[in-house]
Structure 1
Amino acid sequence: MTTARDLAIIALNVAPDRPVEPGNLSLVLAGAEVLDLIAARSVVLDGDRILPGPQSLTGDRLLDEAASALVRQEPYEAVEDWLWRRGRGLSSAYVDELERIGLTTRPRGRRIPLRTGRTELADSAARREAEERWASGEPTLAALGAAAGIREEPIEGLTEEAVTVLAAVGNAVQELEAVRQRKVIEDAAFDNIWRGY
């Protein structure tokens, strides 16, 4: 299992209690992919730049897709640029992938299949492994969970690469939140103008 897939499982598991904003989760999943690619020795970080190594298959479809999407020409890509480019719609891609490989199901009605759009985790070894990793407080997964808004406790024991990636993730999530707030203000102003205030 990859950190990104474990994080997607955890996000689905906590969603009813603490819904995770899909845009935030997409950015965090893109960050998790960078950390997975570092662990697989497919990339290294040079400051905040992602330097691709030799292409090799990881055995995970989405992680292999991420590796093939790397910028392979100098000056290479900054982590934050990667997050925005790769993160677009990534939370949906992970939900679809979990369903495709049988790790999630959709609730069904009594007689007629009910497509509510709500995805539920299946009881699986992958789910148990992700939950055990989460419960153990593994630093990288816990820090990514905090960036996604799932966990709030302080995180210690991170590698230098993880700190660099998580700083970029934090900046991207804050920027996305600022864009959301600006849109709310603009929409409210438009509504006031429309009403004649």
Structure 2
Amino acid sequence: MTTARDLAIVALDTATGKPVEQGDLSLALAGAEVFDLIEARALVLDGDRIVPSAQAPTGDRLLDEAAGALVRQEPYEPVEEWLWRRGRGLASAYVDDLERIGLTGRPRGRRIPLLSGRTELVDSPARRAAEDRWTAAEPVLTALAAAAGIGDEPPEGSEELATDTAATVLAAVGDAVMELEAVRQRKVIEDAAFDNVWRGY
């Protein structure tokens, strides 16, 4: 399993608590794909720019799709631009893919389950593997989840997070999530101002 898919599983598994913002999760999933593609040797980072390597199938449909979407012309794409471009609707894509491969199902006992739009994780080796990584507080998974608003920040001093590559990707995810939150706040203020004008204030 990939870090991105494990993150999607963790997000569904913890969805009963504080709701996860789809945009934040999408950005974190795009960041997780960068880590997965580095591990698959499909890319390397040159500073904050994503430099593709020779494309080879990873065996994961969404990850292969991500590899095929990499910009292959210089000066290449900064990580944060990738997050915004690749992240659009990515949370929904992962939820749909989990259902497609049988890792989630519609809850039983509902008369019209399709109208609920909710799927639930089924017991599977993939779910248990993701839960094991989560329980073990695997640093990259924990850091990406925290950026999406799930769980706590990983403890400082982790060697895995101290590398230039990890720091670059996680900083880009954090910046993108903060920028998205700023956009949300601006929209709330603009909507409130519009409502006041509409009411004659």
1:114 to 2:118 alignment: no
Distance 1:20 1:164 in 2: 23
**What is the SS of the residue equivalent to 1:50?**
strand
In the other structure, the counterpart of 1:56 is 56
In the other structure, the counterpart of 2:127 is 127
In the other structure, the counterpart of 1:25 is 25
CA drift of 1:145 comes to 0.9
**What is the SS of the residue equivalent to 1:6?**
helix
CA drift of 1:143 comes to 0.7
Unmatched tracts of structure 1, length 5 or more? none
CA drift of 1:163 comes to 1.0
In the other structure, the counterpart of 1:37 is 37
In the other structure, the counterpart of 1:66 is 66
In the other structure, the counterpart of 2:150 is 150
1:177 to 2:181 alignment: yes
Please identify, of 11-20 and 53-62, the stretch whose mean Cα deviation from structure 2 is larger: 11-20
The runs of at least 4 aligned residues of structure 1 exceeding 4 Å deviation read: none
Please give the root-mean-square deviation of Cα atoms over the aligned residues, in Å.
1.0
Q: Please tell me whether the aligned partners of residues 44 and 50 of structure 2 are also in contact (alpha carbons under 8 angstroms).
A: yes
In the other structure, the counterpart of 1:99 is 99
Identity of aligned residues (%): 74
In the other structure, the counterpart of 2:166 is 162
Question: Alignment partner for residue 187 of structure 1, among 188, 191, 199?
Answer: 191
Distance 2:95 2:113 in 1: 18
Q: Please tell me whether the aligned partners of residues 31 and 83 of structure 2 are also in contact (alpha carbons under 8 angstroms).
A: yes
Distance 2:129 2:183 in 1: 36
Q: Which amino acid aligns with 1:78?
A: P
In the other structure, the counterpart of 1:15 is 15
Distance 2:67 2:38 in 1: 10
- Residue deviations 1:154-190 (CA, integer Å, cap 9, x gap): 4423132111000000000000000000000000000
* TM-score, with structure 1 as normaliser: 0.97
CA drift of 1:113 comes to 4.4
The total of aligned residue pairs comes to 196
- Residue deviations 1:52-109 (CA, integer Å, cap 9, x gap): 0000000000000000000000000000000000000000000000000000011133
**What is the SS of the residue equivalent to 2:113?**
coil
Q: Which amino acid aligns with 2:37?
A: L
Distance 1:178 1:60 in 2: 33
CA drift of 1:134 comes to 0.6
**What is the SS of the residue equivalent to 2:131?**
helix
